[in-house]
Chain A
Amino acid sequence: MAAVTHEQNLAALRALIANHKRKDVAFGVVGLCCMMVGVVTLVVLFIDLLIDGHGRFTWNFFTSFPSRRAEQAGILSALVGTFLVMLVTMVAAVPLGVAAGIYLEEYARKNWVTDLIEVNVTNLAGVPSIVYGLLALGLFVYMLGFGQSILSAGLTLALLILPVIIVATRESIRAIPSAIREAAYAVGATKWQVTSDHVLPYSIGGIMTGVIIGLARAIGETAPIITIGALTFIAFLPPAPLSTQPPFISFEWLMSPFTVLPIQMFNWVSRPDPAFHYNAAATGVVIIVLTLAMNGLAIWLRYRIRQRIKW
């Protein structure tokens, strides 16, 4: 009698355990599926763009201006515009962001000013990008009178990626062991000598990774640039920065109207004629390849740095 209940208990217990194990395995499968939703979407999205846009990948597409006829339209002005805007963004954001990161990590004392700056950096990273567009519209376009120019757009995106660069700089500086700093101080170096001769050179790889990731984000940003009122039909190139006549170098291009790749894509998506949608898809492929290449470069760089550092 007692033996039977014992057997039954054992059987019930085994059933219970088996049941729990089944649930465990089931959740593992569900988790794998959920995780794959994102990855599969990425693949489907890219294939969809390739199918829609593959017909446009001719030499003409890269060397023509936008046109009323979808078949003849190209992305030359958008490519050049993207390159120039990125140039302005880089020149403005990199020194500012790196300097701010150095200050916060190496110089800042623990007081309310530092806290205020840190709270601001965190919050700015969470501000929707279109709000930077509103800031630029009020400040750069109208108050400072830069107009709807490459300069305005570049500065807008610079503000947008500033938190990314600051955070990357801080993280790569923080990874340097303090023994390095102490050794330099011990032989009489000043704070700036320690920073510029030791801290910066050792953290430059990490900083560059952050800069590339920031720029990759800026390349795809559409909303802030639309908000400053960038034109979408640009069938000319900005004035060349170099010329054969003195003074040989000119900054007129900074004030030139422009278009960039994501705006060109948005313009083509918004048209009802499906022929333009193919152009949009092809532009989308170009943008994705550009951002993926930059992200890939950043990941590779990070990997290389991890391999090299031996402290």
Chain B
Amino acid sequence: MAQTSAETATVVGRAAGEAAAARLARKSARDLKERAIEFVLFLAALSAVATTVAIVAILLYESWAFFQHVSIWTFLTDTEWTPLFENARYGVLPLLAGTLVTAGVGLLVAIPLGLVTAIYLSEFAPHRVRETVKPFLELLEGVPTVVYGYFALLFVTPLLQKLYPDLPGFNMLSAGIVIGIMIIPYVSSVSEDAMRAVPMSLREGSYAMGATRFQTAVNVVFPAAVSGVVAAFILGISRAVGETMVVAIAAGQQPNLTWNPTEAAATITAYIVQVALGDLPHDSIGYQSIFAVGLVLVLITLVFNILGHMLRRRFREVY
């Protein structure tokens, strides 16, 4: 009797031990699976880093080959860009000038309109108006850029030619204006975010002193949100500089060192498109040149983006 109970105890004990071992094995198998899943997800997240590394590596690799033929000094100071001609010249200045002029015209349109729109949406507009108009502004951002190119070349340019009959068919002015309209929603939404982040108490203080909405917006809200608004401008510049299809269609493809927006000139992006449309052999210097100018483009946008995000973070931390 006593023996049996001892035996039973051992059996039960062994069974419990086995069950515990099995549970342990299951748990460790589960842990392993969990770790494997986490690792796979981590790799997916790392793809963002990999993309950046790949972009930098490819640009540097092909530019390196390019700068074996052309000295960096010539690249930065020569005033002609004719890599596809017989006697090739490799000065990036004309492309840079074209890029800056179109972006500049775009900003002259986008900054005032975007800023006033942002102040209106944040301080003046009734709730209903804001909710109805904002989706439309978002759609403006969603229209493909090639369509804007068509609009610039075949609608805006003829319109401008009625005002200035001397305007050539390809010109940086109409491309710049259309780019400006295109980035209004972007500038206005980032600025509006900054203004809405200004605490209500500041506005109430101003209203209590008898200020109107306009006075409050200009003297209280705008100064408090200024770093966010500047961030919006800078991020807008970055967009305008990288814009491709509008300039490739409407601004012309001839590199032209000029600051006059009524002339035709190629931008960095338009040049890349021009080369890609042709049939240049891989490993030719013309092929390498688009990576060199691409590197310049990335550096410009990178500087503006970093600056913009730093300013944006600053206004978020104030309150």
What residues make up the interface of A, taking CB atoms closer than 8 Å to B? Answer: 20-21, 23-24, 27-28, 30-32, 34-35, 37-39, 41-42, 44-45, 48-49, 52, 95-97, 99-100, 102-104, 107-108, 116-117, 120-124, 126-135, 137-139, 142, 159, 162-163, 166, 190-192, 216-217, 219-223, 226-229, 232, 262, 265-266, 269-270, 277, 280-281, 284, 287-288, 291-292, 295, 299
Check if A128 sits within 8 Å of B37, measured CB to CB: no
Check if B154 sits within 8 Å of A38, measured CB to CB: no
Main secondary structure of the interface of B (DSSP, over half): helix
Inter-chain contacts of A32 with B (CB < 8 A): 120
Please tell me if B40 contacts chain A, counting CB pairs below 8 Å.
yes
Inter-chain contacts of A99 with B (CB < 8 A): 40-41, 44-45
Check if B146 sits within 8 Å of A96, measured CB to CB: no
The answer, among B44, B48, B214, B282, for a CB contact under 8 Å with A27, is B214
Please tell me if B113 contacts chain A, counting CB pairs below 8 Å.
yes
Query: What's the nearest-Cβ distance from chain A to residue B192, in Å?
Result: 11
Please tell me if B137 contacts chain A, counting CB pairs below 8 Å.
yes
Q: Which B216-257 residues have C-beta < 8 A from chain A?
A: 217, 235, 238, 241-245, 248-249
Q: Which B175-203 residues have C-beta < 8 A from chain A?
A: 181, 184-185, 188
The answer, among A23, A41, A137, A221, for a CB contact under 8 Å with B214, is A23
Check if A227 sits within 8 Å of B276, measured CB to CB: yes
Main secondary structure of the interface of A (DSSP, over half): helix
Check if B212 sits within 8 Å of A142, measured CB to CB: no
A240 to B245, CA, bound (A): 32
Check if B45 sits within 8 Å of A223, measured CB to CB: no
What residues make up the interface of B, taking CB atoms closer than 8 Å to A? Answer: 30, 33-34, 37-38, 40-42, 44-49, 51-52, 54-55, 58-59, 61-62, 112-113, 116-117, 119-121, 124-125, 133, 135-140, 142-151, 153-155, 181, 184-185, 188, 212-215, 217, 235, 238, 241-245, 248-249, 269, 272-273, 276-277, 282, 290-291, 294, 297-298, 301-302, 305-306, 309
Inter-chain contacts of A42 with B (CB < 8 A): 136, 139-140, 143
For residue A28, which residue of chain B has the nearest CB? B124
Given the known A-B contacts A220-B143, A223-B269, A280-B150, are A20 and B215 also in contact in the complex, defined by CB atoms under 8 Å? yes
Check if A291 sits within 8 Å of B142, measured CB to CB: yes
Given A38-B181, A127-B301, list of 20 further CB < 8 A pairs? A31-B124, A34-B113, A35-B137, A37-B181, A95-B44, A107-B38, A107-B42, A116-B49, A124-B51, A129-B244, A134-B272, A135-B54, A222-B146, A223-B145, A227-B273, A227-B290, A266-B245, A288-B144, A292-B142, A295-B139
Check if A291 sits within 8 Å of B144, measured CB to CB: yes
Q: How many A-B residue pairs have CB under 8 A?
A: 256
Inter-chain contacts of B151 with A (CB < 8 A): 45, 48-49
Check if A220 sits within 8 Å of B146, measured CB to CB: yes
Given the known A-B contacts A162-B51, A270-B249, A281-B150, are A31 and B142 also in contact in the complex, defined by CB atoms under 8 Å? no
Given the known A-B contacts A49-B147, A124-B52, are A108 and B45 also in contact in the complex, defined by CB atoms under 8 Å? yes
